[in-house]
Amino acid sequence: MESAKKHCKNKDIAIDGNDLQTEPVLLPGLPNHLASLCLANLQPSLLYRVCISWRRFIYSPNFPPFYALYALLAPTSPAPDSACQFHSASFFCFDPVAWKWRSLPSPPTSGAPLCMLSRHPSYISRILPVQSITASGHLLLIAANTHNFLPALSHPLVFNPLSSKWSFGPPFTSPRRWCVTGSMDSSVYVASGTGAQYQRDVARSLERWDMSKKEAEWMWETRTACKDAKFSREAIEAIGYRGKLCMVNIKGRALKQGAVKLVDQETGSLSRYDPENDCWEEFVGPSNHLKGAQHISAGRGKVCAVSADGAKIYVVDVSASAIARPPNFWILEPPEGMEVIAVHILPRMSIHQSSC
């Protein structure tokens, strides 16, 4: 270890793609492929603090990716006369090892700059939905509104954290907003919603995209239509559980569900579903932090909840080792001037091909 420290200066650095073009020595006296095997068993937080070369290593494809928090953020008060893209929501990744926010690369566009509004300059109190989900280890952007209240996306946008690259999904049969979005296993589902104008056929439709197929074979498959068009009234999350897609109405004081956990917006308590007894079991008591939570995501022993005003993200440790004691809460604040719309838990971004 002392020998390794002589080759590494422990200082804070800004990592970019140019730094990764040269391959530093990880452990003097060992080839890098053997050194990688030794270091891969250590905690990334430990490697990050030791030296620059190890810090680069944990963000490379050769190190098992640790998990990070992805957040969809929007400006809190954009200038009324600014261009649409300056009002638009965008994705950021919170790196728990470096303890900093990193912006995701800009998504691809098919022409005009991408515009996804959560607040319209003409409607101060109205929050417009920007719908994103995760599937097969990818982050997917499904639906949003433009400044003209039209569907913002003609294709889903797909972000792969391991390559730090965006790509297009298959074109929508009918671009829409205010729809049902969800995933189960490797399948993505879109149902109901409204296009440029209300159409009953679109409002009753249900389509499926199988991401396990080759990219050249991606397409939306029409499934049995919904019985009515009531799901087109608002943005709704669909949760895949035991082979069923459960639609969760999240308006007002309803319960918010993430996987098989939910938070009660009135009391701030966390519960999990007991399938054997067909009931919800409270495992984290009422908390002021979680009251009015607007969106939650669960994974890797953590539950992340967005505060009612979008100004904070509360992280709760719900791992098996933590349940026996009072839960630990961490508070994350978004970058200045931004509010949180949604959160997701996915592998950290690789910076092998990106400056993020």
The token pair that represents 352 in the structure block: 């092998």
Ordered structural domains, the chain, with CATH: 2-57 (no CATH), 67-347 (2.120.10.80)
- Phi and psi dihedrals of 159, rounded to 5? -110, 125
DSSP 37: H
DSSP-assigned beta bridge partners for residue 159: 139, 166
Beta strand pairing call for 236-241 and 180-184 = parallel
Tens digit of each residue's pLDDT, the chain (356 residues): 444 444 444 444 444 444 444 578 899 989 998 999 999 999 999 999 999 899 989 998 889 999 999 999 988 876 555 556 556 788 999 999 999 999 999 888 777 778 787 777 666 667 788 999 999 999 999 999 888 888 989 999 999 998 999 999 999 999 998 899 999 889 999 999 888 888 888 888 999 999 999 999 999 999 988 887 777 777 888 887 777 777 765 443 333 444 567 787 888 888 887 878 888 888 787 888 888 888 888 888 888 989 988 899 999 887 755 555 677 888 999 999 899 999 999 999 887 533 43
Give the span between the Cα atoms of 272 and 135, in whole angstroms.
21
Read out DSSP for 52-95? Answer: HHHHHHTTSTTSPPPEEEEEEEEESS--TTS-GGGT--EEEEEE
Cα–Cα distances in Å, from 306 out to 223, 256, 261? 33, 11, 15
Give the span between the Cα atoms of 18 and 179, in whole angstroms.
42
CB 245 within 8 A of CB 182: yes
The token pair that represents 345 in the structure block: 């838990």
Per-residue pLDDT, 79: 56
Give the span between the Cα atoms of 135 and 304, in whole angstroms.
18
Q: HSE on the CB side for 36, CA within 13 Å? A: 14
What are the residues whose beta carbons fall under 8 Å from the beta carbon of 347, sequence distance 6 or more? Answer: 65, 66, 67, 68, 137, 161, 162
Read out DSSP for 258-283? Answer: ETTEEE-TTT--EEEEETTTTEEEEE
Whole-prediction pTM? 0.84
Per-residue pLDDT, 80: 57
